[in-house]
Every structure is written in structure tokens, then in C-alpha cells.
Amino acid sequence: KLVLARVDASMIPLMGFLRVNFTEKHWLVPYVGVGTGFEWLTFQVTDYEAQQTGTATYANLAWEGWVGLGIRLGSTLRVNGERNFA
């Protein structure tokens, strides 16, 4: 096994979100949510053949939205399924 290069990536997200449950009275609980924030992505690259290393950092605004449906299994337990939009 010959390794010519290696890339390591690290992402740091900082996000706040708001989720609204439409009802808590029934066993099916529909909800929607939205989140926004900022994220940083850092790459660390090593090229063993050329004997060079480098780093690159990207930063950008981030957002996410989702809709979902929860099934209540008890008074404090619920299983959720959701669809994300980003």
C-alpha cells in the first residue's frame, strides 16, 4: 500500500435553531424548524510525493430548514422522522 497524499478536514458549525410543534395532544406530532448560523471548514493537505503541506480555511453563513412528524411512544418519549432542506 503506497500513500501519495493525505487530506484531513475539520468543520466547526455554530448554529441556532427554532422548532415549532403544531400539537402535543395527539400521538402524531407534526413540526417545522429553521436554523441559521456560521460555519468554518479547514483542510490540511500533505503531498508526500512533492513533500509539501498546506492548509485552507473557508467560512460562510449556513442555514437549514426541516419538516417532520413525530410518533409519541409515551409522555416523555417520541420517535421523529424529518426531511431537511439546506
Distance CA 13, CA 62 (A): 8
Does the model's pTM come out above 0.95? Answer: no
Position 27 scores a pLDDT of: 87
User: CA gyration radius for the chain?
Assistant: 21
Question: One-letter amino acid identity for 49?
Answer: E
Is residue 24's pLDDT more than 80?
Answer: no
* pLDDT digit string, tens, across residues 26-85: 889 999 999 999 999 999 999 999 999 999 999 999 999 999 999 999 888 989 999 998
List the grid coordinates of 75: 409522555
Position 45 scores a pLDDT of: 96
